[in-house]
Chain A
């Protein structure tokens, strides 16, 4: 198998801002982009450890986000506290099951699947796995694309809390889970951004290089 020619393998650095290629000086050292002057790195510095830290932090916040009340409704009938799941159940029972499905997917499934996908990417990169690299690259793109949609429930609460303020009749307030949930969304987005997808493909170059050494030796 012919080794893939990457910028790294030829000692070139590509600018993440403008795409310009620049030569890595012999012996290393800091380089700036000749065209737009940003510092260049062949791979995002400390990508794996940063992504691990952010992913683990978001896993911790996922528990209060789902267990604590996200919405407190009080009306003349009494007061009621809703978690994300009980909000979904309310939508389901009131007959709007397509919306219940959308909210369930965006608020419960997306953060969960995102964390699982990030763990899979991190572990496979650390094992230098060269299996299913294209699928993992697609998975990474999906994680990046879908993350923002988890903010859905936050906006729902914001609109409800702003509108339903009829003193004595009904009021809606955001609960403590809103903060935890916002944290989950922000942390998983930051985790996806700090992961360098080029690490997925570096395993292929390493595998081929090792294979060639074996043939020659």
Chain B
């Protein structure tokens, strides 16, 4: 397991544990010195003061507790906007195509779902639609709504609900699995016909990289800071 970032958390003493956790801590996004419970093993520990790029793992179960990426808010917002653009490209352009005896067939993401629906596989079509179109789009728009609210320093009433939805949708967005699936199906077809990679294929490949970068720069602790300013040297 990677503990390469050098972050270290300390187990809480019982004395420290008696202290109330404060929600309006002036420490900023690192939560340094605050008492936290590990979300995977419930161990109480004092959050260390994190330098930039550092992260802290639980001393007992090694779960990732805190991170402190550089310019988290601005970078995540920029990457999310780039991802939204790539989503549009991925959904409105042909994904892949094949050519057989002079006939050329191309398919879009939504077209593939429609074809499955038309073949009487409505449940599977729904699952595919949800995991590669609906959930990723919802997750991205809600994440941007959250970040913009933090950036403006004004959190609406729906803020916690949005955050919960973003978190519960995350495991169900599967575009990286879709990309691998496209590669496998093209290899299967390459014996029979020539295959063409469409604009949407490359958009999805780029999207996976952008989303990974966004996840790296995202710091959920920022969302709950009392003051909206995410900047912290």
* CB-based nearest B residue for A96: B187
The answer, among B63, B112, B160, for a CB contact under 8 Å with A17, is B160
Q: Is A63 an interface residue (CB 8 A)?
A: no
Q: How far is the CB of B14 from chain A (nearest CB, A)?
A: 6
Picked from A103, A141, A162, A182, the residue with its CB within 8 Å of the CB of B115 is A162
- Of all chain A residues, the one with the shortest Cβ separation from B45 is A5
Q: How distant is the Cα of A200 from the Cα of B223 in the complex, in angstroms?
A: 29
Determine whether A26 belongs to the interface, using a CB cutoff of 8 Å to chain B.
Answer: no
- Chain B residue nearest to A198 in the complex (CB): B42
Note all chain B residues with C-beta closer than 8 A to A134: 60-62
B97 and chain A: residue at smallest CB distance: A163
Q: How far is the CB of A188 from chain B (nearest CB, A)?
A: 12
* 0/1 interface trace, chain B 167-196, chain A, CB 8 Å (1 if under): 100011010011011111111110110000
Q: How large is the interface on B (under 10, 10 to 19, 20 to 34, 35 or more residues)?
A: 35 or more
Looking at chain A, what size class is its interface with the partner chain? 35 or more
CB of A67 within 8 Å of the partner chain = no
Pair A169/B177 contact, Cβ less than 8 Å:
no
Question: Could you tell me which residues of chain B, from 119 to 177, have a CB within 8 Å of some CB in chain A?
Answer: 119, 121, 123-124, 127-128, 131-132, 159-160, 163-164, 167, 171-172, 174, 177
Question: B62's contact among A137, A182, A186, A200, by CB below 8 Å, is which?
Answer: A137
B99-127 interface mask toward A, CB cutoff 8 Å, 1 = contact, 0 = none?
01101010100011101100101011001
Bound-state Cα–Cα, A99 to B186, Å = 11
Of the candidates A4, A18, A193, the one whose C-beta lies within 8 Å of that of B160 is: A18
Q: Is the CB of B11 within 8 A of A5?
A: yes
**Segment from B33-41, B82-90, B211-219 that makes contact with A:** B33-41
Q: Which of A158-206 contact B (CB under 8 A)?
A: 158-166, 169-170, 173-174, 178-179, 182, 186, 189, 193, 197-198, 200-202
Residue A117 at the chain B interface, CB threshold 8 Å: no
Contact bitstring B41-61, A, C-beta under 8 A = 1, else 0: 111100000000000000011
Q: Does B224 contact A (CB under 8 A)?
A: yes
Are B113 and A166 within 8 A (Cβ)?
no
A123 at the interface (CB under 8 A from B): no
A123 to B178, CA, bound (A): 34
B9 to A: closest C-beta gap in Å: 13
B98 on the A face (CB < 8 A): yes
Choose, from A31-39, A46-54, A124-132, the stretch at the interface. A31-39
Interface contact B112-A162, CB-CB below 8 Å: yes
Which B residues are in CB contact (< 8 Å) with A7? 37, 42, 44
CA distance A201 to B63 in the complex (A): 13
Cβ-based interface call for A113 (8 A): no
Determine if B61 and A201 form an interchain contact, defined as CB atoms under 8 angstroms apart: yes
State the CA gap A2–B11 with chains docked (Å).
12
Q: From the candidates B37, B60, B124, B178, name the one contacting A179 in the complex (CB within 8 A).
A: B124
Expressed in whole angstroms, the Cα–Cα distance for A141 and B192 within the complex equals 41
B95 at the interface (CB under 8 A from A): yes
Asked if A179 and B171 make an inter-chain contact with CB atoms under 8 angstroms apart, the answer reads no
CA gap between A6 and B187 in the complex, in Å? 52
B160:A159 contact, CB within 8 angstroms = no
Give the shortest distance, in Å, between A151 (CB) and chain B (any CB): 5
Q: Is the CB of B177 within 8 A of A148?
A: yes
CB atoms of A163 and B17 under 8 A apart: no
Residue contact B44 to A20, C-beta cutoff 8 Å: no
Residues of the B chain whose Cβ atoms lie less than 8 Å from the Cβ of A81:
none
The reply to whether A151 and B61 form a contact with Cβ atoms under 8 Å apart is: no
Apart from A19-B224, A91-B187, what 17 extra A-B contacts exist at CB < 8 Å?
A: A5-B13, A5-B14, A6-B41, A14-B36, A19-B221, A35-B160, A91-B184, A94-B191, A99-B187, A137-B61, A151-B174, A152-B177, A158-B124, A163-B189, A166-B100, A178-B124, A201-B43
Residues of B within 8 A of A (CB): 1, 11-14, 17-18, 21, 23, 35-37, 39-44, 60-63, 95-98, 100-101, 103, 105, 107, 111-113, 115-116, 119, 121, 123-124, 127-128, 131-132, 159-160, 163-164, 167, 171-172, 174, 177-178, 180-189, 191-192, 221, 223-224
